[in-house]
Amino acid sequence: MGRDVKTLVVGDMHCKEELILSRVDAAVEVLSCERVIFCGDYVDEWHSNILTMRDAMDVLRSWVLERRADGLAVDLVMGNHDMQYRLREAGPGTHTALFDEVSHLLDELDVCAAVTVGGSLVTHAGVTRVWANDCLDLTEGTDAATIAHQLNALLDHGQEVSLRMLAMAGEGRGGWELPGPLWADQSELYQDPLPGLDQIVGHTPVESIDLWSTPAEDGIHTAAHLVFCDTMSLTSNLSPIGDGSMLLVDGKTIRTVSDEELGVRPWRLSVWEWMTTYVLPFLG
């Protein structure tokens, strides 16, 4: 299947697969999408535990395998929370007892470091110039396909040194290294994006799909676009930060997909119903 088909891009799920994937199904049907891209972080929600984690993983596995069997192209990008299980190292919210199970799921579903759509690079957090200059070979250009190939080579290499290159975290996320493609904060990506590269990311919660134009060096023309898609993350008390919107990419055209357009229940109400069904009964 060509990679320029009508594509839905979905932000971080964080154990809310039961809630989010039904909305994805609605979008695929209403918008006639042929491809879905997930921006990473499939695990580790606030107050999650081993039971709720396993339930979410089972839902994700079944959904991806069934939709792929039905002919839908499904791409899953690695998130920083997911990488902690591959590294077998505790991070924010990591359930260390599930190192093996999550790692196996990532392999089974062919989770990658990056994909492209409509000429844009899709990663979890974005490629900054300072990280790319240090960790990538930019002699062949900075087009999205070239960068995606190099990022996936680092993940496929599988050795700790290459995985840790992807998992570098800068000051914006409490680290002391360069802001890498799994950890770069929105502020770090906006201040220092890889020039000339359109990027679509999750990772930093936003109120709605957020499109930014990064200024060119002359301060006049637009050098590239950054699109932030993490609209489904929650606060520590499980209140929605964003509106649950998704991104539609159709050729070079991108736009927000809202609850109203899909005819689904409002995101805030859906989160409350999910919380009372899948979270509160497991607390305490």
Looking only at the bridges linking them, the beta strands covering 115-117 and 73-76 are unpaired
Looking at 51-60, 213-222, 255-264, which range is the least confident one?
Answer: 213-222
Q: Per-residue pLDDT tens for 140-154?
A: 667 999 999 999 999
- Sheet of 246-250: strand order equals 73-76, 35-38, 7-10, 246-250, 253-257
Looking only at the bridges linking them, the beta strands covering 73-76 and 246-250 are unpaired
In this prediction, residues 109-130 reach a mean pLDDT of: 97
Q: Per-residue pLDDT tens for 6-50?
A: 999 999 999 999 999 999 999 999 999 999 999 999 999 999 999
Q: Per-residue pLDDT tens for 242-284?
A: 999 999 999 888 999 999 999 999 999 999 999 888 788 877 5
In this prediction, residues 73-78 reach a mean pLDDT of: 98
Predicted TM-score (pTM) of the model is 0.95
Across all residues in the chain, what is the average pLDDT? 93
Length of the chain: 284
The pLDDT of residue 96 is above 50: yes
Pick left, alpha or beta for residue 119 (phi over 0 → left; psi -120 to 50 → alpha; otherwise beta): left
Dump strand ranges (E) for 151-221.
Answer: 199-201, 210-215
The pLDDT of residue 129: 95
The pLDDT of residue 63: 98
